[in-house]
Structure 1
Amino acid sequence: MAVHTTDVLVLGAGSAGCVIASRLSEDAATQVALIEAGPAAWRDPWIRIPAGFARLYASGKYDWRFHTEAEPGLDGRSIHWPRGKVVGGSGAVNGLVFLRGSPRDYDRWAQSGARGWGYDDVLPFFKRMETWTGEPSEERGTDGPIHSSEARHTSPGAAAFIAASLAMGHQRVKDFNGAWHEGAGPMPLNTKGGFRSHSGDMFLKPARNRANLRIMPERAIQRLTFEGRRCTGAIVRGPAGLERWEARREVVLSAGAIGTPQILMLSGIGDGAHLQEMGIETYLHAPGVGQNLQDHFLQRMRYRVKPCGTVNESWHNPIGKLRMAARYAFDRRGPMAIGAAEANLFARVLPGAEEPDMQYLFVNFTVTSYDQGPDRHPGFMFSACQCRPDSRGTVTLRSASPDDKPIIRANYLEAAHDRHLMVEGVKYARRLAAQPPLAALIEEELTPGAKVTSDEEILAHIRRDGGTVYHPCGTARMGEDNLAPVDSRLRLKGVTGLCVADASVMPLVPSSNIQPAALMIGERAAAFLRERAA
């Protein structure tokens, strides 16, 4: 078995891992090795083009192809959970929505036991990683690697969505990533000059020729290695067979909300009873590993509309498709410069809500499945998403083999509050669609459909049709209590030399999309690692 040694070993080149490897290798005296199961794919145009996310989803080319078990709350359906298997991770293949969430989300982290992770603590790291090209603000960064801006294209449907939100009394939001985000406006996206701006491309690619940085793609992590109570490295499977990678200083596990708990458990860190059942010797009894799984849940409100410049119309018209491509090629604008959504609304749906409890994302096309592409009729949709779900799931091992995908149970709609809010969220969406700016375009509500009216019927439809917003997190959460596997400085408790830094450490899911939070965690982890090395 080939043996390699470095100062810091980063396991996983996702959103956080790329940030960590880039930042640490800025110090020429620090040797860094970055291990990634997927390919580098530096030049794949479908990663760079924002609208390429749909093609990437349909192809599964850079996807771990995870699925949940049959979900009891969703009529026994198994839900596809795509996760990026490529340098850049899910940030290289997602819909490019760039939302931090509410400042209060991070104050809740601190209140839950993640000390030092309140909004004032994390704001400098949000700013450090970004360049915001919109209206200047004390809340936004101006010289970071990740570029973000409002959507470069606003379709008639998106404009009507924003106008309808204002007609309902919502304010026009200048910056969804500012001090307060309630209201409607164009969606902020992580793009630069019409191209996707992600950590693999913006942090790691400029650093890849550094003499002290080794980027090692197509190497699947098998397990961690230990000497006594110290984590020393990992065994990985590379193109030529097994390799042993050792870290003189620290190992950083950054394999994501699914991969991180799986690797920990395969290495003997997890609930002892579960590990014994799998035939794995318990190295450290840590029953919180794989628990606390959270994800945002959505119901898509799909509409057949009058011709109004939807992607559906262009996609199924050869001339329209050519015009769409030509516009993007000419000035990097138009539908191809947009990711999953053009506009956004954060709204308080339940009486007495202290802040927005639902998010609505406007999408200028309709799909039954991304595998099939846009529908043939003119259409758009907006997704009703619960901001802070109460339901919790688990990630456990299927076997002791690293090749077997873990068992994912999201437990969607397990909590009564989640069921109630989703039903009310659909009814609120209907009130939004009835506002004149949208009503003038809409011909028919396709889902849930006009015949679905009672609360019981709406909930039954949600169980049949609702799904993921692709934001799994929380499976190795930070905290001070005994069930939290990771402390507030991202060190795995009970082991030295092992840092965990990805979406798995989030105690609570942010109230919106989680990519900026994952990047922020990467920045914070790099700072902690530098402090510990000083």
Structure 2
Amino acid sequence: MPEGLPQRDQVAAVHSTDILVLGAGSAGCIIATRLSEDSGMQVALIEAGPAAWRDPWIRIPAGFARLYASGKYDWRFHTEAEPGLDGRSIHWPRGKVVGGSGAVNGLVFLRGSPRDYDRWAQSGARGWGYDDCLPFFRKLETWAGEPSEERGTEGPIHTSEARHTSPGAQAFIAAALAMGHKRVKDFNGAWHEGVGPMPLNIRRGKRSHSADTFLKPALARPNLRVMPDRTIQRLLFDGMRCTGALVRGPAGLERWEARREVVLSAGAIGTPHILQLSGIGDGAHLQEMGIGTRLHAPGVGANLQDHFLQRLRFRVKPCGTVNEMMRSPLGKLRMAARYAFDRRGPMSIGAAEANLFARVLPGAEEPDMQYLFVNFTVTNYDQGTDPHPGFMFSGSLCRPESRGTITLRSPDPDAKPVIRANYLEAAYDQHLMVEAVKYGRRLAAMSPLAALIEEELTPGPAQRSDDEILAHIRRDGGTVYHPCGTARMGEDALAPVDSRLRLKGVQGLRIADASVMPLVPSSNIQPAALMIGERAAAFLRAG
């Protein structure tokens, strides 16, 4: 019997399948769905969270804020005290539900720059350049905008520009145009620099995500089993072949065995955590945790990347902000009634209404900052919207240079991992964030945006010098919730995963989620995670 495998009488149930997919997030739902299209292939999909098909707050785009505040489908991860952020611990919400983070996020649908994927290929992820990835981006979506060779027309995920943007978003776009930026025809096209309404994964006013549009229609297939409410304890092996996983289910421990392959799709935090619990990671760290080293792979849990942001918050004249609507029962009723009547209004839009990609540093060859316009203000999402009219736009690093780690806190699978993002560790990140605040202020001073603004709340007019601005960013900046890179693809010895998503040194195990991204895309990472799911399914079908 392989080392570490419980005796059969310690296990409540034993199950077998051809392909075992661990994690029903954005990628995992696609993998299980695509593979189960072959009626001769048995597929099982394991998820730690519940199946929440009927929860209206998942379907309603604006429900992301309520889901964030409630933590109902959240792993409730937090970073360690961040040295670059005055010792603050940052909340990292991650979806713990069938659909994963794609079921609870802000619905922003941005692929990033085509150059991002060419950089993946140049870094060693062979076959992952933009031209290689584009067919899979197209395959997964149906784009409601102007047709182009860059966009899909028959995929399950429905995408469109934000409809009926607020006066604040319109002023933001007009101010950026006045500043010299161009109106972007399609942020997911061949070039994304400039300003325009935000692309969102929404159809008829409802969230369009991989659990709902891929997986749910496939539930009736007899060769597909979806098993929620099951947490992965560790992977199981026969020698150096991964044979399945030990899972804690509602009735106790379950052993799931895979006749063909195991696909680990637990996300940028969960995937390295599970690998390390299974004896795959840096040998010294595993020894410190009392876990035998099955495979010394120091790249597991390294290379952690995330987009860092600073919000520019403004008190504004009454102009239809969500803050105003949330101040009174009547405002809330009107907002809900409009959504119920025609699926329009603030409840039909996700986290941001408009977007700007800009070159902030002199000599930048491509956009280095993203600005996301939001038609409300919050100090943080846990406290809800501010009581006065307000909107904000956040400056976010497109390609941060700081790198973090995911490591074990203990050998107990239920213990949260140790997350060290190391925000602002790199001098480049510090410099660019300071310049981004200055650039955002220049944007706010442009007409017609300036006519709406009564006061800059954060960073605030008192923060003028570079040192004062950076000090404020350390006190106030945060995350855009895009962790990735912790089991990156590459050809070098430190890359744990090869270009066909196979874990090096192990047979029968593939990784397919945001952890394999060598470099974070320039924008939101949801479409890239979906694309990885499509490619993983194609690799598995090819053998």
TM-score (norm 1): 0.99
Aligned to 1:363: 374
For residue 524 of structure 2, what is the amino acid of its counterpart?
N
Q: Matched residues in 2 for 1:410 and 1:188: separation?
A: 28
Pairwise mapping of residues 477-516 of structure 1 onto structure 2 (< 5 A)?
A: 477-516=488-527
- Aligned position for 2:14: 3
Match for residue 291 of structure 2?
A: 280
Separation of aligned partners in 1, 2:259 and 2:396: 44
Structure 2 partner of 1:253: 264
Q: Pick the aligned partner of 2:136 from 125, 130, 136.
A: 125
**Unaligned ranges ≥5, structure 1:** none
Partner SS state of residue 300, structure 1 = strand
* Aligned-partner Cα distance in 1 for 2:33–2:254: 23
Partner of 1:350: 361
Q: What letter matches 1:501 in structure 2?
A: A
Hey, what does 2:341 align to over in structure 1?
Answer: 330
- Which of the residues 510, 525, 532 maps onto 2:536? 525
Identity %: 86
Measure how far apart 1:255 and its partner are: 0.1
Partner of 1:304: 315
Contact kept, 8 Å, 1:278 with 1:399, in 2: the verdict is yes
> Alpha-carbon deviation of 1:511?
0.2
2:103 — aligned with what? 92
Distance 2:345 2:245 in 1: 45
Quick one: distance in 1 between partners of 2:408 and 2:204? 42
**Counterpart in the other structure of 1:291:** 302
1:266 matched residue in structure 2: 277
- Measured after TM superposition, the shift of residue 319 of structure 1 is 1.6
Deviations 1:440-460 (A, max 9, x none): 000000000011100000000
Displacement of 1:249: 0.4
Q: Which residue of 2 aligns with 1:418?
A: 429
Superposed counterparts of 1:163-182, under 5 Å: 163-182=174-193
Supply the distance in 2 between the matched residues of 1:389 and 1:371 (Cα, whole angstroms).
Answer: 26
Distance in 2 of aligned mates of 1:507 and 1:256: 14
- How far does residue 174 in structure 1 lie from its aligned partner after superposition? 1.2
Quote the residue 2:24 is aligned against. 13
Matches within 5 A, 1:424-435: 424-435=435-446
One-letter amino acid of the structure 2 residue matched with residue 224 of structure 1:
L
Which residue in the other structure is 2:411 paired with?
400
Report the alpha carbon displacement of residue 372 of structure 1 after superposing the two structures with TM. Answer: 1.5
Matched letter for residue 162 of structure 1: I
Residue matched to 2:4: none
Query: What per-residue deviation string (whole Å, max 9, x for no partner) do you get for residues 215-241 of structure 1?
Result: 000000000000011100000000000
| Residue-by-residue CA offset, 1:288-322 (whole Å, 9 max, x unaligned) | 00000000000000000000000000011222211
SS of the residue corresponding to residue 382 of structure 2 reads coil
How far 1:153 moved relative to its partner? 2.6
1:339 counterpart = 2:350: yes
The match for 2:383 among 347, 365, 372 is 372
Amino acid aligned to 1:245: W
Amino acid at match of 1:239: P
Kept in 2, the 8 Å contact 1:156–1:309? The answer is: yes
State the AA in 2 paired with 1:234: A
Contact 1:153 1:335 in 2 (8 A): no
Q: Which runs of 4+ in 1 moved over 6 A?
A: none
Distance 1:371 1:337 in 2: 21
The CA distance in 1 between the partners of 2:334 and 2:149, in whole Å, is 39
The separation in 1 between residues aligned to 2:130 and 2:355, in whole angstroms, is 22
* C-alpha distance in structure 2 between counterparts of 1:320 and 1:135, whole Å: 34
Distance 2:329 2:416 in 1: 41
| Matched position secondary structure for 2:412 | coil
Q: Which residue of 2 aligns with 1:317?
A: 328
Map of 1:115 onto structure 2: 126
Once the two structures are superposed, residues 79-114 of structure 1 have per-residue CA deviations (whole angstroms, 9 ceiling, x without a partner) of: 000000000000000000000000000000000000
How many residues in Structure 1 have an aligned counterpart in Structure 2?
532
Task: Give 3-state SS (helix, strand or coil) of 1:215's partner.
Answer: strand
Instruction: Determine the C-alpha separation between the residues in 2 that align with 1:168 and 1:453.
Output: 21
Whole-Å separation in 1 of the counterparts to 2:99 and 2:217? 13
**Using the alignment, how far apart are the partners of 2:299 and 2:254 within structure 1?**
29
Which one-letter code corresponds to 1:500 in the other structure?
A: I
Structure 1 contact 153–342 (Cα < 8 Å) conserved: no
Distance 2:338 2:323 in 1: 17
Alignment-derived partner of residue 459 in structure 1: 470
Secondary structure, counterpart of 1:121 in structure 2: helix
Q: Which amino acid aligns with 1:42?
A: W
- Once residues 287 and 462 of structure 2 are traced to their aligned partners in structure 1, the CA distance between those partners, rounded to angstroms, is 51
CA offsets 1:58-94 (integer angstroms, 9 cap, x no match): 0000000000000000000000000000000000000
C-alpha contact 1:153 1:337 (8 A) present in aligned 2:
no
CA offsets, 1:171-218, max 9 Å, x none? Answer: 001110000000000000000110000001011000011000000000
